[in-house]
Amino acid sequence: MQDGITTIVVNLTDYPGSDPQASWIIALDGLDMSVEDMMRELQELTWATKDDYPVMSSLRSRQGVHNWGASSTFAEFILDMSAGGVGALGAVGFQAAVRDLFGRFRVRSRGDYWGPRSRRKKRCA
């Protein structure tokens, strides 16, 4: 998955299909990890509470190719987790776990993706 944009979303939600209570999103350019490794890393987040079982969750991925103008590949990973399941860890602890995971992903990539940059120059008055 080196070329293209990889988007990772982590949602805390009451139940599958409901609007999330909190979301963390990162888009990275050129993430050097296989789909299997990404899934494994994200699944580890479901064990962040250090309980005997993981937090109830749903993890899905999608990969594809954009051929609309310039061609590029993309991958999306979405992890929905039960908000009630992270209660023992607390909001601050869970946010730190997500920030740590996103930091590890950022190190493996070529950088954050900020979208197309404007090439227009500002005019001087």
Q: What digits encode the pLDDT tens for the residues 45-78?
A: 998 888 888 888 999 999 998 888 777 888 999 9
Question: For the chain, which residues score pLDDT lower than 50?
Answer: 117-125
Q: What is the pLDDT of residue 69?
A: 78
In a domain, 125, yes or no: no
In a domain, 56, yes or no: yes
How many CB atoms are closer than 10 A to CB 26?
Answer: 20
Domain count of the chain?
Answer: 1
DSSP state of 87: T
Q: What is the pLDDT of residue 113?
A: 53
Whole-number Å distance between alpha carbons of 54 and 46? 5
In a domain, 124, yes or no: no
Q: What is the pLDDT of residue 7?
A: 94
In a domain, 112, yes or no: no
Domain that holds residue 25: 5-107
